[in-house]
Structure 1
Amino acid sequence: MSPAATHPTPTSVVIEAPDQLSEYAVVTLLAADRKIRVLPAAELGQADVLVIVTPVLTEFLRGRAEELLRTFPGPCILIVDRIDPAPDRRSPAAATGLLLRSEVTSELLTARIRQAARGAGHLRVAGESPTPPLDHRETLILRMLAEGLEIPEIASRLNCSEGNVRRILSLLMNRLGLSNRWQAVAYAFRADLL
């Protein structure tokens, strides 16, 4: 077996974050994996994958992150704190992965980076439609979750009981095969419901 086969080239990553602390947090998650190498931003052209950390999904459409997505030819993973439903709904079509910061682990992030480097995975495909369709109330609940509202606030806005909101959300998540609220919000984003 050749040395190249036993020691594959590490996947190189550039991290774009709004501050050094966010960047350091991602570097720390990747530090244990010797098959992933973090490059400085100046070496973006040599990176296999771009990781962008942004507090709110719609904010990545502005400024440096948008410029990076236009110029970087490779796959991009977005790490967000929350998904903000915006009136200007341009889709981050250049992104191949969307992760919520609260759920990111070292194992999950390294797996997504490897998938992106291999060309697997997507955030959303043009023309992709949600399966199955959601009714008006389910859509409203997902939108309010994306705004960061809790169950009591959602119930108050919909003028129904908290138990009813929980029931609708539970049935919806079971039907879609989702395990938590963040996955439900990510589904709503991918399905263009927000």
Structure 2
Amino acid sequence: MDVKVLVHAADEIGEAGVKAMLTGHEQLHVVPDEPGCRPDVLVVAVDGVVGTSTFALLRRSGAGESRGGPRAVLVADRFKSEDLLLAVECGVAALLSRQELKEGTLASAVVAVSRGAALMPYRLQGILLDQISRLRSQVLAPAGLTLSGIETRERDVLQLIAEGYQTDEIAVRLACSVGTVKNVLYGLMDRLQLNSRSHAVAYAMRAGVI
């Protein structure tokens, strides 16, 4: 599989060095930064600590977008723990420290990311999980939302559908009208582009919601 890689670095010398690390790998094809270029992976190398300009670059590139945006590999000297969620939101799938890069490390990371893997230093993994937990408990749960994007009322309806209840029975169990149940289902399926109740239930099961 030919993986198209676009490289951004702080300066021309740094960019040339990053490209040199990737050029020898048979699966990787470094592409130029031109209009219409659609890379599979974006590699961003930063001098020092990651800042707002880096996240702005990632957003402009479309990294992390659901419709064909590239996944991103971010190489830097230091990462601020408070920026981890923002990095994930901006499509970063791998965080690599410049000091820890060895021959073949970057190329292997790019190939892994192109296949759907995510890479992060161990010390940051626990921090990210703690941040996600706080996001869920302090922001999403009070608003009736879950990390999957499914609202708690939608989750309740899907759980009952999975257990075999009909619409009128669900309305009784949730103390609401049949119309409310139908509206909840329609809103969910329209938002997530699901084509049936069974599709919605399968989505929720894959997301671990029910």
Q: 1:60 to 1:99 in 2, by over 3 A?
A: farther
1:53-100 deviations in Å (ceiling 9; x for gaps): 1231234554423322366712111111111355x7752111111100
Q: 1:111 to 1:28 in 2, by over 3 A?
A: same
Q: Secondary structure at the match of 2:10?
A: coil
CA distance in 1, matches of 2:115, 2:76: 22
Query: Paired residue for 1:92?
Result: 87
Say which of 10, 18, 25 aligns to 1:26.
18
Q: 1:97 to 1:24 in 2, by over 3 A?
A: same
TM-score of the two chains, using structure 2 as the length reference: 0.50
Query: Paired residue for 1:101?
Result: 98
Query: Paired residue for 1:110?
Result: 107
1:64 aligns with 2:34: no
- Unaligned regions of 5+ residues in structure 1, if any? 1-8, 124-182
1:73 aligns with 2:64: no
Question: What is the aligned residue count?
Answer: 125
CA distance in 2, matches of 1:43, 1:31: 22
Q: Based on CA coordinates, which of the two structures has the bigger radius of gyration?
A: 2
1:120 aligns with 2:113: no
Letter of the structure 1 residue corresponding to residue 23 of structure 2: A
Taking CA–CA contacts closer than 8 Å with sequence separation of 6 or more, which of the two structures ends up with the larger relative contact order?
1
Alignment root-mean-square deviation, CA:
2.8
In the TM superposition, what is the alpha-carbon distance from 1:31 to its structure 2 partner? Answer: 2.4
**Identity, % of aligned pairs?**
21
Q: Secondary structure at the match of 1:46?
A: coil
